[in-house]
Structure 1
Amino acid sequence: MNKIGAALKKYKHAWVLLYVFIYMPWFVYLERHVTTGYYIIHSSLDDKIPFVEYFIVPYCLWFIFIVVVVAYFFFTDVPGFYKLTTFLFTGMTIFLLISTVFPNGLMLRPTTFVRDNVFVDMVKMLYAADTSTNVFPSIHVFNSIGVCVAIAHSDKLKEYRGVQIASYCLAGLIILATMFLKQHSVVDVMGAIVMSLIMYQVVYVTETRKERRISRQMI
């Protein structure tokens, strides 16, 4: 019992993860009900980007990437964990609100494929599992940027330059994957980038200024 109590006290910040019970039902509802009458998002740049099935690999690695980084901060850096989840969950909530009041979708997915390989098979499975609606802004892009920001601000991870560089490269490939797999429009990607810039100012820049001000007052 003492061990359980100690664990609960040590990891009391786990309450933040209850957000999944808000996000998932809301997202599933949108996926099931936004099927007609939605706004088609498109950019002329989308037509110039070819479909490349090999990008399915970094696209799928996104799920592992996000979980691993969130878990790292959960177990090693509680203040960093709070900042990261504030960044991610606020943006994800904004995404849900946008999708609710402004139903949107794409018509970019190819119906035929030039090649027939395991990567194309994986893309077909992705298309079957994930609808082409509720795409703006791209959460794949937004969350990838969010975890990279957290990594960049981690004093501990600054000691591991290789980890930082690998994370940034993977995030870059994930962002490209959203467009080369025709999962997102350039518009979705730019929307996610803009939202990331705003959230960075709110979560990291503002908090850093507060921390510095408090430090000066304590001297």
Structure 2
Amino acid sequence: MNQTKNGLTAFLRRHPETWIAVGYFAFYLLSFFALERITEPRFIVHCPLDDLIPFCEWGIIPYCSWYLLLVGGPVFFLLKDKGDYLRLCFIMFVGMTICLALYVVLPTGLDLRQPIPRDNLLCKAVELLRTIDTPTNVCPSIHISSTVAVGIVTVRSKLFARRRWVKVLMVAECLAMCWATLVLQQHSVLDVAAGAALSFALMPIAWKLWPQKE
């Protein structure tokens, strides 16, 4: 136990930037779940394209990969490239903060969810997801904005300059996440577009604050 504690202390001393992510995630989780309890949707997000997208329980697989990406992305770049880590933290965390602020000022919700049409393991997982993640506070989508943030930094990182297959996989992950949020009826097309646009809007600011060395 003491060895684990000493190892963690040594790691934090070597990587004090870790506290940026740890501190923000604590703030984010408290804020998000507090808003889930106190806000009531006043604006229902919907567009005609939403009605053309069929439900598909297979979307739960890429959808759940977000939780690994949310933690794994910052940890990877923290260990491999401080500049990429700081750029990722800026895009991801400023994006999340903007989303939380918008949820307070413009509380949004969905009316997309239909009864789940099948009874299988994946559908049961979707049912569980729906009990945890209510159709409120949806636009912009934090799920998408944070995924795109990791995607942007990965694609632009010098770490993968000679590993294009990593970039291809990351783009595929971003597209799969967008697809998953739509086919699970977790978000509207408008939520997805707004979430992606938010991260792309923050991208040039991040690279200006922490320029990438040639």
Relative to the length of structure 2, the TM-score reads: 0.90
The list of structure 1 runs, each at least 4 consecutive aligned residues, that deviate by more than 3 angstroms after superposition, is 2-9
Q: CA RMSD in A?
A: 2.1
Superposed counterparts of 1:35-184, under 5 Å:
36-111=40-115, 113-184=116-187
Distance across 2 between alignment mates of 1:54 and 1:141: 18
**How many pairs were matched up?**
209
Match of 2:15 among 11, 14, 39: 11
Q: Specify the alignment match of 1:29 in structure 2.
A: 34
Distance across 2 between alignment mates of 1:75 and 1:60: 24
Distance across 1 between alignment mates of 2:96 and 2:28: 8
Relative to the length of structure 1, the TM-score reads: 0.88
Deviations 1:118-170 (A, max 9, x none): 11111101001111100010111111111011111211122222222112111
Distance across 1 between alignment mates of 2:76 and 2:145: 19
Q: Specify the alignment match of 2:3 in structure 1.
A: none
% identical aligned pairs: 33
Name which one, 1 or 2, has greater alpha-carbon Rg. Answer: 1
* Amino acid corresponding to residue 97 of structure 1 in structure 2: A
Query: CA 1:12–1:115 in 2, change beyond 3 Å: closer, same or farther?
Result: same
Conserved in 2, the CA contact under 8 Å of 1:158 and 1:164? no
Distance across 1 between alignment mates of 2:130 and 2:8: 43
Match of 2:206 among 167, 179, 203: 203
For structure 2, the residue ranges without an aligned partner over 5 or more in a row are 1-5
Q: Specify the alignment match of 2:25 in structure 1.
A: 20
Deviations 1:186-207 (A, max 9, x none): 1101111221221112112x34
Query: CA 1:4–1:95 in 2, change beyond 3 Å: closer, same or farther?
Result: closer
The alignment partner of 1:159 has SS state of coil
